[in-house]
Chain A
Amino acid sequence: MAEKLISAEHIYKSFQHIKALRDVSIDVESDRITAIVGDNGSGKSTFIKILSGSLRPDSGEIRIGDKKHSFLTVSDAIAAGIRTVYQDLSLDNCKDSVENIFLGDEMMRGIFLDRKAMREEAARLLEEIRVSIPDLSEPVRNLSGGQRQGVAIARALRRPGKLLLLDEPTAAMGIQESRRTVNMLKLLKEKSMAQLIISHNLNQVFEIADHIYVMRAGEILASVAASETSPEELRELILRREDERLN
C-alpha cells in the first residue's frame, strides 16, 4: 500500500509580474513514479526548485510526513530525504566523478578527506545504477551526457533518501543515453525509490510513471493515473487548453 510521502498544497510563486505557479497541489506517494508534464514555461522546474529548497514559495504549504512547512531550505529538503537531480545536473565540471558524487557530504578520516573510501563507494554506487565510467579521475566536463547524468543520480542516491526529484532527466541526450537513463530510473523504482519526474517527453513518461500531473501556465490541468490515459489524450488536453487560452 503506497503512503503519501510529500504533499504540496496551494503553492503560489511569482517572479515580479509573472505568475509562475498558481494554486499548485500535488501528492507524491512512496514506491511510485509520479510525473509532471507540460510545455516549456509551464512552471514544472519552479515547482521542483521549491520542493528541493532552492526557491521559496510565496504561499502554500509543504507536508512531509506529519510535519508542515511554509518553505524548505536545501538543508531541510536533504534532512527530509529529498534528493534532487537538476536539469543542469549541478556538477562542478572541474572536479572528477568521485568528488562530484560526494560534494557536500564527503567521507572523512579525521579532518582529512578519505579519498580512497570515497573512490570505492563511488565505484560501487555507479555499478549499482549500471553507469560505466572507465576513469573516475577524469573531470566530469569530459564525460558523455549519460555518464554525467549517472554521476548526478549517484550523488542523489549517495545519502539514504525517500524521494528522488528529477528535472528533465533525458533532456539534451541521444537515443541510447536516454534509454540507459530510463532503464536506470526503472531500476531505482524496483529498489522502492519514489521518484518525481519532470519531463515534456510524454512517451517516455508513460513508459515509467504511475501517476501523471499535467501543468500549463503555472496551473495543474489534470491529475490522472498513467494506466487510465494515453499520451495522445494528454497531448490533446494540453493543446486544447492552449487553443482556448489563445482564443
Chain B
Amino acid sequence: MNYLRREISAPALLLCFCLAVSVFLSIETVSFYSWKNVVNILEANSYRMILAVGMMCVIASGAIDLSVGSIMSFSAVCMAKALKAELPVELCILIGILTGTLMGAVNGSLIYLTRINALIITLASSYMYRGLSLIVTQGIPITKLPESFRAIGCGDIFGMESGVTAAFVITALMVPLFFFMKWGSYVSSLGGNAEALKRCGVKTWFYRISVFAMMGALASVSGIIVTARLNSAEANAGLNMEMDAICAVIMGGTALHGGKGNLFGTVIAVFLMGLIRNGLTIMSVSSYYQQFITGAMLLMAVVIAEFRERKARIG
C-alpha cells in the first residue's frame, strides 16, 4: 500500500498544481476560462503529448532520446517531398512514419551493438538527422502542401484538430501496451536490470531496438501534425522538442535511471506545461520567461523525485 501511495503521489501533486494554476488564471484573465481556450491548449500540445508518451517508454528503459526533434523534422521533410511528388496522401504519411521508425531503429541498434550511452548516440544522430533535413531541403521550407493532406493532418474531429484525437488514441493504446503486456514489462526491466532480463532468456536486443523504433514512429507522427498545422515542412521544425518531452516525463514521476514509467503523470505534466505556456501568453508575459519557468519546474521536479526516491530506499 505504501508503494501504491508513492506511485500516485507524483501525478496527484501535479494535478493539484494544475488545478491551482487553472484557478489562478481563471481569476486573473478573462479569456482563460473558456471551451475555446481548452481546445486551443489541447491542440497546441497534442504533438508534445505524443512525444512525451514515447519518451516515457524510452526513459523507463533506462535510456534517453535526444534525436526526436530531428526525427520529427526529417520524417516530415521526407513526407513533404513525397507530397510534392504528388503521391497519394496516405502513402506519403506512411513514408513519413516509416522514415521515423527506421531512424529510431537505427538509434536502438547502435545503442545495443556499441553499448555506448544512449545520450551520446542520440546526440550524434540528432545532428546527423537534422543535417539530412538541411541537405534535402537546402534550408528552404517545403510549403503549400496539398489540401487533402491538411484535411487529414489537422482536420476537424469532434470540434478539435485530428492531432488531439491522435494524441488521445496513442496515449490510450499505450496503457495496455506498457502496463498489461510483455512489451512494457520488458522495456521497463531494461531500465531496472537489463542483465537480469537477459539471464531470464529474454531477447533484450529486440526490446532495446523496438522502444527506439516506436519513439521514432511517434516522433514522425508529431512531425506530421506540426507540418499539417504550419502547412510547411522545414529543417528547423521540432527544435528542442526532446527537452519538452524529457521535462514532462521526469516531472510526471518516471525515474531518470529507468525501471518504471508513469504514464498518467506524464500526461498531466504535458497538460500542466501547456497550461502555463497558455497562461503566460494570455497574460502577455515574454516567451523568455516561459523558458525559464519550464527549466525551473524541471529542476524542482527532479529534486522532489530524487528526495522521494531516497526516502523510498531508506523506508
Residue contact B201 to A138, C-beta cutoff 8 Å:
no
Residue on B nearest A137 in the bound complex, by CB: B3
Residue contact A112 to B189, C-beta cutoff 8 Å:
no
Tell me, in angstroms, the Cα distance from A143 to B308 when the chains sit together: 18
User: Which of B66-74, B116-124, B160-168, B190-198 is the interface stretch?
Assistant: B190-198
Pick from A108, A138, A139, A155 the residue with the most CB of B within 10 Å. A139
Residues facing B in A80-113 (CB within 8 A) are 84, 86, 90-96, 99, 103-106, 108, 111-113
> Taking the complex as formed, is B146 at the interface, i.e. its CB lies under 8 A from any CB of chain A?
no
Q: What A residues does B201 contact at CB under 8 A?
A: 74-75, 78, 104-105
Q: How many A-B residue pairs have CB under 8 A?
A: 75
Tell me, in angstroms, the Cα distance from A155 to B260 when the chains sit together: 21
Residue contact B193 to A112, C-beta cutoff 8 Å:
no
Residue contact B182 to A106, C-beta cutoff 8 Å:
yes
Pick from B185, B196, B258 the residue with the most CB of A within 10 Å. B196
Residue from A52, A92, A113 within 8 A of B259 (CB atoms)? A92
Residue contact A112 to B185, C-beta cutoff 8 Å:
no
Residue contact B189 to A74, C-beta cutoff 8 Å:
no
B260 CB → nearest A CB, Å: 5
Residue contact B182 to A93, C-beta cutoff 8 Å:
no
Q: What B residues does A104 contact at CB under 8 A?
A: 197, 200-202
> Taking the complex as formed, is B4 at the interface, i.e. its CB lies under 8 A from any CB of chain A?
yes
Residues facing A in B198-218 (CB within 8 A) are 198-202
> Taking the complex as formed, is B1 at the interface, i.e. its CB lies under 8 A from any CB of chain A?
yes
Q: Knowing A54-B199, A74-B201, A75-B201 touch, does A94 contact B182 (C-beta < 8 A)?
A: no
Q: What B residues does A95 contact at CB under 8 A?
A: 188-189, 192, 259
Q: Chain A: how many interface residues by the 8 Å CB criterion?
A: 30
> Taking the complex as formed, is A228 at the interface, i.e. its CB lies under 8 A from any CB of chain B?
no
> Taking the complex as formed, is B176 at the interface, i.e. its CB lies under 8 A from any CB of chain A?
yes
Tell me, in angstroms, the Cα distance from A197 to B143 when the chains sit together: 69
> Taking the complex as formed, is B180 at the interface, i.e. its CB lies under 8 A from any CB of chain A?
yes
Residue contact B198 to A93, C-beta cutoff 8 Å:
no
Tell me, in angstroms, the Cα distance from A11 to B313 when the chains sit together: 42
A210 CB → nearest B CB, Å: 27
| Binary flags per residue of B1-27, CB closer than 8 Å to A gives 1, else 0 | 111100000000000000000000000
Residue from A93, A103, A135, A139 within 8 A of B200 (CB atoms)? A103
Q: What A residues does B2 contact at CB under 8 A?
A: 138
> Taking the complex as formed, is B181 at the interface, i.e. its CB lies under 8 A from any CB of chain A?
yes
> Taking the complex as formed, is A4 at the interface, i.e. its CB lies under 8 A from any CB of chain B?
no
Residue contact A94 to B1, C-beta cutoff 8 Å:
no
Tell me, in angstroms, the Cα distance from A95 to B201 when the chains sit together: 18
Residue from B4, B185, B199 within 8 A of A113 (CB atoms)? B185
Q: What A residues does B315 contact at CB under 8 A?
A: 142
Q: What B residues does A106 contact at CB under 8 A?
A: 182, 185
Q: Knowing A106-B182, A135-B1, A139-B3 touch, does A94 contact B259 (C-beta < 8 A)?
A: yes
Residue on B nearest A93 in the bound complex, by CB: B192
Residues facing B in A101-139 (CB within 8 A) are 103-106, 108, 111-113, 135, 137-139
| Binary flags per residue of B170-181, CB closer than 8 Å to A gives 1, else 0 | 000000100011
Residue contact A74 to B198, C-beta cutoff 8 Å:
yes
Residue contact B197 to A92, C-beta cutoff 8 Å:
yes
Tell me, in angstroms, the Cα distance from A133 to B261 when the chains sit together: 24
Q: What A residues does B195 contact at CB under 8 A?
A: 90
Tell me, in angstroms, the Cα distance from A46 to B215 when the chains sit together: 38
Q: What A residues does B176 contact at CB under 8 A?
A: 112
Tell me, in angstroms, the Cα distance from A139 to B2 when the chains sit together: 11
Tell me, in angstroms, the Cα distance from A127 to B248 when the chains sit together: 42
Q: What B residues does A52 contact at CB under 8 A?
A: 199
Residue contact A113 to B181, C-beta cutoff 8 Å:
yes
Residue contact A91 to B4, C-beta cutoff 8 Å:
no
> Taking the complex as formed, is A19 at the interface, i.e. its CB lies under 8 A from any CB of chain B?
no
Residue contact B188 to A94, C-beta cutoff 8 Å:
yes
B255 CB → nearest A CB, Å: 8
Residue contact A92 to B193, C-beta cutoff 8 Å:
yes
**Extra 7 A-B pairs, beta carbons < 8 Å, given A93-B192, A105-B200, A142-B312:** A91-B193, A92-B192, A99-B185, A103-B197, A108-B182, A112-B180, A113-B181
A binding-site residues for B, Cβ under 8 Å: 52, 54, 74-75, 78, 84, 86, 90-96, 99, 103-106, 108, 111-113, 135, 137-139, 141-142, 155
Provide a sorted-by-A list of 22 A–B residue pairs whose CB atoms are within 8 angstroms. Answer: A54-B199, A74-B198, A74-B199, A78-B201, A84-B199, A90-B200, A92-B189, A92-B193, A92-B196, A94-B188, A94-B192, A94-B259, A95-B259, A99-B185, A103-B202, A104-B202, A106-B185, A112-B176, A113-B180, A138-B3, A142-B313, A155-B200
8 nearest A-B pairs in the assembled complex, by CB-CB distance? A104-B200, A94-B259, A92-B192, A90-B196, A94-B192, A92-B193, A94-B260, A112-B180
